[in-house]
Amino acid sequence: MGVSALPAVAEPVIAALGDSLTAGYGLADGQGLVPQLQAWLDGKGADVTVMNAGVSGDTTAGGLSRLDWTLSPDVGGLIVALGGNDMLRGLPPEASKANLEAILQGAEDRGIPVLLVAMQAPANLGPDYQAAFDAIYADLAAKYQVALNPGFYAPLLGSPPDPARLAPFLQPDGLHPNAEGVTKIVEGLGPDVLTLLDQMK
């Protein structure tokens, strides 16, 4: 008699919905955020697959338009890291907030826990814009009771935050992290992803 094979249980999947920072812009295969995060999680013994749903140049509106196909039936957790391109284009903060809220509502409707990654507007956009934009993430995290990460660049800026510390961790464009920068970003993000994985269970 043959041994009856038990059906394989698929690993839980976390989708990382984002822009060029998530997609791994300008980096070699294996150096981007998702592969480095996957390796970090593997090193912690976490039984999870991270799916790269990052599209360079994407805005919150673009992310919202991709939500339905991103949240395929195998996806049990969602990282939302959008808003940087809205800010760079000077789009109205209220529009960005509405798009992010629709993403969080879509995940909530499906019972999918979310890790929201905050973005911060630079001072050169003016204090009113900066205050309105920066408030989006904490407001939505509180309203939808989702975890909030302080931002991809927080581990690079140090405490207290110092923009001068960023340079060694950026690509020549001065915007996107290099491979070493991504490694530090993952070290800051990873524990929150482990918490997200616990919520999925």
Taking 70 as the pLDDT cut, the residues of the chain under it are 1-9
Show Cβ contacts of residue 15 under 8 Å, excluding neighbours closer than 6 positions.
Answer: 50, 51, 53, 70, 71, 75, 77, 78, 79
4 is catalytic: no
Q: What are the tens digits of pLDDT across the range 19-46?
A: 999 999 999 999 999 999 999 999 999 9
Catalytic site residue from 56, 58, 176, 192: 176
Residue showing tokens 């999918």: 112
**Known catalytic residue at 86:** no
The pTM (predicted TM-score) of the whole model is 0.94
How many Cβ atoms are within 10 Å of 45's Cβ, its own excluded? Answer: 6
Q: Which residue in the list 20, 58, 86, 96 is annotated as catalytic?
A: 20
Q: Out of 29, 109, 128, 173, which one is annotated catalytic?
A: 173
Distance CA 27, CA 194 (A): 25
Q: Which two tokens stand for residue 77?
A: 């957790």
N- to C-terminal Cα distance for the chain?
A: 36
**All domains of the chain in start order, with CATH:** 13-200 (3.40.50.1110)
